[in-house]
Structure 1
Amino acid sequence: MEVISTVSPTPEIPATMRAVVVHGPGDYRLEERPVPQPGPGELLLRVDAVGVCASDLKCYHGAAKFWGDEHRPAWAQAGITPGHEFAGTVVAGDTAALERRGAALGDRLACEQIVPCWECRYCLRGNYWMCGPHDMFGFKGFDGAMADYVLVPERALTHHVSGDIAPQHAAFSEPLSCSMHAVERGRIQLDDTVVVAGAGPIGLGAIAGARQKNPFRLIALDMSDDKLELARKAGADILINITREDAVARVRELTDGYGADVYIEATGHPSAVAQGLDLLRKLGTFVEYSVFKDDVTVDWSIISDDKELDVLGAHLGPHCWRPAIKLIESGALPLDEICTHQFPLERFQEALDLVGDSSGGSVKVSILPSLG
């Protein structure tokens, strides 16, 4: 098999690279590692940007969702490099790998977080994002992109992103596709009142995605006026700061006492779940996207006997990457204001800490290895 470019100790592709390595909760280290060499069907990307997700932070702090407990299997693996929201430039790969992806050296690609097995019941039925083994960049099975280079396995899903946009904007295609999947799950209709809780990266993406559906009324909830102003720029009609207004009462006032048709939870805070159940109308739809650090307890009789709600989960961003990338490339989103902070790789700890600092003024934090 012809190899287009090989890894060798040259100025273009060095023999070693910097990579953040997980040693356990609260113990991530920047280390020197060999640059991966792509085998048949694989590609090597030079990392342009990798976003720092709230799930990265929760994994760092040891949430059971990732490290496992008596109720859950472990997803996170010691020894792996984190980082699943990324875009990079193709620098090596064989002819077959490039042709199969319609790519060439120098192209920019973004990768879906899941690396499907393509053999399990879910993959064979087309539900690849729920793959049984559930290997994922940055958590389980495959190194992520908090490094100078990342290997793209043959099984991975890739999407072209313009090289003309900022690297951090290109990497935002992963969270935006996830947000759009949550929107799709909500089955929004033209006459709906839609409420999105949280104006962080996922919530802003959900607002932008819901705007494409053009519901009658799109409401954003948050505790920050600055983030709510971003929500307006992303497409929200009405802004509610829940520190000053009773969101449930205001939504009922706006809907003749009935409540919202669709509620998308994108805060990751347990209180937002009960809030959503309260402000939905009877026969409404609740879409849960967040990864929670703590357990959530609600009155389930609201879901059944009181309102007969549809409660739906959303995971990853299947079938939403093309519209997400198209929206990013269109320039319609205020991405310079959403992608607020960029760090070089050696300052990865500052990036993680900033994501966890609610007073730090960040929205989307990214790592750009080239900033070093």
Structure 2
Amino acid sequence: MKVKTAILVEPYKIEIQQREVSLGYGELLVKVQVCGLCNWELNHFRGILGNCPQTLGHEWAGIVVETGRGTNGFCIGDIVTVLPERLEGFAEYAAINYKNCYKVDPDIDIRYALGEPLKCIVTVLSAANIRVGDTGIIMGCGPMGLWCLQGMRSRFLKCLAAIDIDDSKLALAKKFGATHVINPLKEDAVKRISEITSGHMADFVIEGTGSTEVLNNALELLRPSGRGRLILMSSHEERSESFDFRKLIKVSGELIAAHPGYSLNQAEDERRAVEMLNSGVFDLSEIVTHQYKLDDIQKAFNTLNNKPRDYIKGVVVM
């Protein structure tokens, strides 16, 4: 069948085209209802990753409309979120292996059923190796940082601080579980963390900005006693030669790139993430700030590429 699909025809230019979708063995045909706009895909949009023309979209969810041969456990009408092998979520329909689909509770608003980025949160929190009584810091209160706070608010942490230069995002961070919020434009973050922790500093810092400057600032927050964990959550596709390894060595810190490949079992992380979504641990309703139609995909990516002040997370709703 022919379906409307967003195609990146050249860097910074997306067109809606008709594309053939067929149902293979072991696949479900899903009517896509929503697909998240991810900062990582800006690397494709800007011409850094992939070759044009190419499809986009990996944070998607929808409704099963047909079950192919060799599938089991799913019925027509099931709401599913996915762990896709291909970028093709910005489309009316998509075919996907049933083993990569996870059922979403019908009570969940499907606009907020983005399982794939929540899977990444499970990977990040596992990489942080959180222990009872730890002091943790989130640097950058974008969607991933805020979801990390939601995922950790039930943990037995001594302190969970959030750092951002946007007070409105810090207000959400406080609501989602941060014990302390710090705007580094208004106060010295290193001094404040030292005061809060009586000089112990952070057992782990999760960096969610993609800025090398912020990454270097994070080193100042790690405990000097050794083995403090600095977790990279953002995409650093742009090359940088300014990371301060001397400082990392000085505090005997651990640098962990907690991207999808870090996971020992992405399917298991996705399963856990969806269970947390279904049980109410993750709440996307206040984090999704911008919604677009498929026909407005160019505007959606332009806005993602040049975010207004009130932007946290965008989705395309089919």
TM-score by length of 2: 0.91
Residues 110-121 of structure 1 mapped to structure 2, 5 A cutoff = 110-113=81-84, 115=85
Q: Report the equivalent of 1:7.
A: none
Q: Report the equivalent of 2:24.
A: 39
Superposed displacement of residue 332, structure 1: 4.8
User: Aligned AA for 2:169?
Assistant: K
Superposed displacement of residue 24, structure 1: 2.5
Q: Report the equivalent of 1:103.
A: 74
Instruction: Find runs of 4+ consecutive structure 1 residues off by over 3 angstroms.
Output: 330-334
SS in 1 for 2:90: coil
SS in 2 for 1:162: coil
Superposed displacement of residue 61, structure 1: 1.6
Superposed displacement of residue 194, structure 1: 0.1
Q: Would you say the 8 A contact 2:25–2:69 is kept in 1?
A: no
For 2:37 and 2:104, how far apart are their aligned partners in 1? 19
Q: Report the equivalent of 1:163.
A: 106
User: Aligned AA for 2:12?
Assistant: G
* 1:176 alignment partner, one of 110, 118, 139: 118
* 2:14 alignment partner, one of 17, 20, 28: 28
Q: Does 1:300 align with 2:242?
A: no
Q: Would you say the 8 A contact 2:204–2:230 is kept in 1?
A: yes
Superposed displacement of residue 368, structure 1: 0.9
* 1:344 alignment partner, one of 293, 304, 312: 293
Q: Does 1:314 align with 2:248?
A: no
Q: Does 1:248 align with 2:195?
A: no
Superposed displacement of residue 110, structure 1: 1.4
SS in 2 for 1:273: helix
For 2:152 and 2:51, how far apart are their aligned partners in 1? 35
Q: Does 1:281 align with 2:232?
A: no
Identical pairs, percent: 30
Superposed displacement of residue 79, structure 1: 2.9
Residues 112-261 of structure 1 mapped to structure 2, 5 A cutoff = 112-113=83-84, 115=85, 137-138=86-87, 144-153=88-97, 157-171=100-114, 173-261=115-203
Aligned residues between the structures: 310
For 1:53 and 1:148, how far apart are their aligned partners in 2? 18
Cα displacement string for residues 244-280 of structure 1 (whole angstroms, at most 9, x for unaligned residues): 1221221112122231110001111121110111110
User: Aligned AA for 2:81?
Assistant: A
For 1:86 and 1:261, how far apart are their aligned partners in 2? 34
User: Aligned AA for 1:351?
Assistant: A
Q: Does 1:268 align with 2:213?
A: no
Do the aligned partners of residues 164 and 334 (structure 1) sit closer, same or farther apart at CA in structure 2, a change above 3 Å counting? closer
For 1:177 and 1:214, how far apart are their aligned partners in 2? 22
Superposed displacement of residue 199, structure 1: 0.8
Aligned CA-pair RMSD: 1.8
Q: Would you say the 8 A contact 1:180–1:205 is kept in 2?
A: no
SS in 2 for 1:28: strand
Superposed displacement of residue 301, structure 1: 1.6
Cα displacement string for residues 43-92 of structure 1 (whole angstroms, at most 9, x for unaligned residues): 211101000001122321223xx2xxxxxxxxx23233200001111112
Superposed displacement of residue 333, structure 1: 4.5
TM-score by length of 1: 0.79
